[in-house]
Structure 1
């Protein structure tokens, strides 16, 4: 169905004028106001609203100001958003958060660099005291023994030599005992240093030693227990070899094979126990725990983190061992070459040079031994703090402690163990409200 008024394409919508028809009316003239009146003002047409016509092609585009720079929280400077991330506080040596593997491994070296005087001085002093005491005990003894052998007759020389061997074995207990005390004391020093350094404190030599001396006897007791266990294991293996030798060649061979297999098993067991019980000195010093409580704390803290703890301790020990070999081996080679050049025939003319070379080698060994002992002791303390942050939220307690301390509020010891929760009352038991 079509519309009769709809024009075909190309036609005008109005019919053409007919011949003789009147023309269409003209447009009305504009309205003129009556005489004597004031015409109304003519308001301009409003400008069109919006963005306006787009610029012509090739015309310069409008420029807009760049947005303000944003900070790390995702908000403009001065306007931190409520969900912005901030790094954990780090008032001192360690950041107050659980440490990743790299931070855990390199933190002991930072402890040595942060407070080198008291830390390295303590390690060097311990090594020096042990070495000098051993030398003071052995040198006069051997000089006297060799003098007696030189002037004794042939029948008495064997007795003198046997007595010298027995005496040297007894004297060997002196540096061993001093080494036990020095190792225990150095472990305590590094525990105190790492714990105070984490809170932003930098202790002097005397204060570091005074704080450690309060827990020296439990530390010595623990070191004696470890040394006694190792000594008993060695004596058992030696006893097996002696018993096998009494049975003849076949028994000796069987005993040696048994000892080798048992030694491998003891090495594995010792590595496992050393990791599980490595945090005992830290618990003794920081938590004021006895031997039994410290052993229990170390065992619980390392649950679930054995391989991580073992890996960090093994890598740090490997790095220290390689570094010490790299440093000491060239000195030993150079010392041998110098002695050979000065006294190639071995007449004794290069005795002074030989003594100087040996003294330099001993001094370098003492320095490296001090650095090794300090770093390994600091590593144990860092692992202890990391495990308490992961398991007990120690990082939150330390952050609260630092905030209150900086605000001037009296604070206690943040390293004391968390209090055990109170046991719930028995069902049906009367409740006291007083």
Structure 2
């Protein structure tokens, strides 16, 4: 099947009933055909061509390949549609990570500085080195917690987007419980990405440092390698990130291992690299610009207000600085939660769009929605429409997982 980028000219990839009489219901709605509204689908609008019906939109997005504008707008609608589960999850996860980081690193730094001040003069160098190492090691726990929290949030947002597409609205505890089943695979994938980035940066930094230590004309070569090596690392990182950006969605929705998810993400993005990169880059740019537009004036305003209140500096300078820092930190925390939701939702929507374009997922989702709204006896045991067809065939004769939100 060739790749089609224009949704207006998109044709259904599903073969006719004769090609798959067991898997294709003869009365299933298709684009270009009007189906009776048995599952709550609206009838064709007045004035429309006879026999034509638009693709249904049971929830977040219409069940058809998405246009570029929809991919840019829908991630922001995720926040509006279920704010308690999306924004609430992001804010809670980031707040807990921030508080623990400040407590752990702050307390360790406080006691380390106290040891340095209490040490004899002839031992202060050794104590300072040990204190610096202690502070660095104390950051391991907050970093590990941040990795786990980020992985959990990715899983939660992926699930929310997938179920919102079907018109479902899940509670926060259901999303957390379901995403928790794939948490450690997501954590491992996050660690793999972080390790790859650290290896690349460390390799270039090590080469540059070695050349600088050699001195002389080697410094010129170090500068050249630093510039071009950094640009090469940036390009390579963007390429790898784009080709593997669907891995979290595949881990959560298709329940794949990391190796399987990487191979499938690579396959799905073939022919859609620039589209995938462009959508993610534009959404990230929009979020970052909004964040800077809000945070920078607030920080400047807070600083000016304290100058007006205390023009002579009679108050302790630490107090105004601390207040400004806390206020900016709170605003940044809220904006960071919004950014995390929007960017994770963007990746999930790209995954759904690519599967619609390349595998006809939209037809599977339409059949699922129609069956779920029909009230038939078997509608409570419907297979997960996001599982690949072979997996659905293996699981079609059994009940969904206990506790699954679509059980």
Asked whether the two chains share a fold, i.e. TM above 0.5, the reply is: yes
CA distance in structure 1 between the partners assigned to 2:220 and 2:304 by the alignment: 42
String of CA shifts for 1:209-257, please: whole Å, max 9, x gaps.
0110011111011101001101111111221122213312322332232
Q: 1:344: Cα distance to partner?
A: 4.2
Q: 1:371: Cα distance to partner?
A: 0.4
> Secondary structure in 1 aligned to 2:389?
coil
Does residue 377 of the first structure (1) align with residue 344 of the second (2)? Answer: yes
C-alpha distance 346-146 of structure 1, shift in aligned 2 (>3 A): farther
- Aligned counterpart, 1:96: 63
- Aligned counterpart, 2:383: 412
Structure 1 regions of 5+ residues with no counterpart? 1-69, 75-80, 423-434
Does residue 148 of the first structure (1) align with residue 123 of the second (2)? Answer: no
String of CA shifts for 1:45-65, please: whole Å, max 9, x gaps.
xxxxxxxxxxxxxxxxxxxxx
String of CA shifts for 1:88-111, please: whole Å, max 9, x gaps.
101111110001000111110011
CA distance in structure 2 between the partners assigned to 1:188 and 1:203 by the alignment: 13
Does residue 311 of the first structure (1) align with residue 274 of the second (2)? Answer: no
Q: 1:350: Cα distance to partner?
A: 4.9
Does residue 359 of the first structure (1) align with residue 334 of the second (2)? Answer: no
CA distance in structure 2 between the partners assigned to 1:349 and 1:271 by the alignment: 46
Does residue 202 of the first structure (1) align with residue 169 of the second (2)? Answer: yes
- Aligned counterpart, 2:205: 238
Does residue 229 of the first structure (1) align with residue 196 of the second (2)? Answer: yes
> Secondary structure in 2 aligned to 1:246?
helix
Q: 2:46 aligns with which of 71, 83, 86?
A: 71
C-alpha distance 341-161 of structure 1, shift in aligned 2 (>3 A): farther
Matches within 5 A, 1:206-285: 206-285=173-252
Partners of 1:192 and 1:285 within 8 A in 2 = yes
Superposed CA RMSD: 1.8
Count of aligned positions = 344
CA distance in structure 1 between the partners assigned to 2:312 and 2:94 by the alignment: 36
- Aligned counterpart, 1:388: 355
- Aligned counterpart, 1:296: 263
- Aligned counterpart, 2:99: 132
> Secondary structure in 2 aligned to 1:230?
helix
Higher helix proportion, which one? 2
Quick check: 342-351 or 168-177, which moved more? 342-351
Give the TM-score taking structure 2 as reference length: 0.81
CA distance in structure 1 between the partners assigned to 2:308 and 2:130 by the alignment: 39
CA distance in structure 1 between the partners assigned to 2:118 and 2:143 by the alignment: 32
Q: 1:124: Cα distance to partner?
A: 0.6
